[in-house]
């Protein structure tokens, strides 16, 4: 849902080179389109990262904020919990 009623629907698409995401968090979508990210009419910040074995990134959440993490390929440890990408038939 958009953050306000009556907003004109829109569509935006861009390409983020793998080099821009390797070993770091790259902002890819945000409320205001900061840092070349696509603009979303939501109070969100969406990041993407490509990590090699042994690489780590960290992100400090602001007070009263929440995070959602999706592992696309491979596995990672998040605060001591191992997360793995799982594919199902049809994925």
Instruction: Please report where in the chains the tokens 């596995």 appear, as a residue.
Output: 75
Residue 30 is assigned to a structural domain of this protein: yes
Give the angle 75-45-58 at the CA atoms, nearest 5°.
45
Distance CA 6, CA 2 (A): 9
At residue 19, φ and ψ (nearest 5 deg) are -60, -30
pLDDT tens per residue, range 4-31: 788 887 889 999 999 999 999 999 999 9
Q: Which domain holds residue 39?
A: 24-52
**pLDDT recorded at residue 50:** 95
Residue 41 is assigned to a structural domain of this protein: yes
Distance CA 31, CA 43 (A): 6
| Structural domains of the chain, count | 1
**pLDDT recorded at residue 91:** 61
**Strand bridging mode 26-30 / 38-39:** parallel
Residue 42 is assigned to a structural domain of this protein: yes
**pLDDT recorded at residue 66:** 93
Q: Determine if the pTM surpasses 0.75.
A: yes
- Compute the radius of gyration of the chain from its Cα atoms: 15
pLDDT tens per residue, range 31-88: 989 999 999 988 999 999 999 999 999 999 999 999 999 888 899 898 889 988 887 7
């Amino acid at each position: 849902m958009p953050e306000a009623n009556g907003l004109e629907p829109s569509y935006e698409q861009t390409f983020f080179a793998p080099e821009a995401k390797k070993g770091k968090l790259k902002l890819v979508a945000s409320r205001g389109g900061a840092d070349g990210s696509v603009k979303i009419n939501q109070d969100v910040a969406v990041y993407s990262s490509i990590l090699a074995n042994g690489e780590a990134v960290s992100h400090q959440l602001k007070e009263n904020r929440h995070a959602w993490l999706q592992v696309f390929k491979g596995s990672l440890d998040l605060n001591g919990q191992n997360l793995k990408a799982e594919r199902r038939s049809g994925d």
